[in-house]
Amino acid sequence: MNRPAAGNDFLDPILAREKQFPDGLFGACHDGEGWTELTLGAFMRRARCFSRLLREHGLRAGDVMLIVLPHGLDAQAAFIGAMLLGAVPSFMPYPNFKQNEALYWRQHRIVFRHIDPRVILTYAELLAAVGEAVVESRAEIVGAAEVESMAPLEVAPPPGDAVALLQHSSGTTGLKKGVQLGYAAIAAQLAAYADALDFASGASPRIASWLPLYHDMGLITSFLMPLWLGIPVVRGQKKWGSGTARHEAGFRRIGKGLTADTGVFCASESEGAGRVVLPENMRARGWCVDGR
């Protein structure tokens, strides 16, 4: 007799919180010019729009989907949208000034061939280049902008024993190496991490981060853990500096030996000599995720 699959330890709490607190703050992202804030309900609606987009391009349960996007709200929504379909999302770095472009494409042609994803989601300026990199692959190349014409797709979450995501090593010393992670394992790690950081002791905690989402620490501490716990995230596009803002917001660091309180962190150097005024909803004690 087949036993029914257990509930989904990662997605079920998020869906329950969305139902109970749809107007709760998901987070705020600073793009160098200004803030974009999003409620949990709006974020999940965006995720379901990506579910429909990805479904229309052939993504099904168990398929691998790569995300090659800047680290904004849409990258995160697409990740959850793929999970809701039962697919296996994975963040990939996008070309930027920190990487040699020729080396980037040489390595990722091999990576794409090795992973053999069903879908690669990217931005308009990269569609042609990604297409050339997977010319021998079955991958469907999808522009993220297509989501604007999509309506949310309501689907039941995948079973708790499904593969949740594919996470890769950095590839600094060789080809990226991927590992599949299940939902139960992820939830157990998030619970242990939250206990170690003593999140329960804080009043209205916030997390601030500049880390890329394809980075192990960025993925867990700056996206999956706060989403699972219902903690809003302030995200910047570049590394943050310390200083003084008109509205105080202290952040304790999460990272390598980071224990001291740090004062105020700012998302961009475009305002006030490196200082950005935090959105009203983000002015609270919290934690700063820093890779140092």
What's the pLDDT score for residue 260? 31
Sole residue written with tokens 């709760």: 24
Type of residue found at 54? L
pLDDT confidence tier of residue 160, bands split at 50, 70 and 90: very high
Give the domain ranges of the chain: 11-289
Of 14-23, 75-84, 91-100, the range with the lowest mean pLDDT is 91-100
What would be the CATH architecture of the domain defined by 11-289? Answer: 3-Layer(aba) Sandwich (3.40)
Could you report the per-residue pLDDT of 28-85, keeping only the tens digit for each?
887 667 778 899 999 999 999 999 999 999 999 999 999 999 888 999 999 999 999 9
> Which string of DSSP letters, residue by residue, matches 239-270?
--EEE--SS---EEEESTT--SB--EEES-SS
Determine contact, residues 207/234, Cβ cutoff 8 Å: yes
Of 97-111, 175-189, 274-288, the range with the lowest mean pLDDT is 274-288
Nearest to 78 by CA among 159, 169, 143, 156: 143
Segment 210-218 mean pLDDT: 85
What's the pLDDT score for residue 39? 95
- The reported pTM is 0.84
Could you report the per-residue pLDDT of 258-292, keeping only the tens digit for each?
333 333 333 333 333 334 445 555 554 454 554 44
What's the pLDDT score for residue 226? 92
Q: Does residue 71 or residue 184 have the better pLDDT?
A: 184
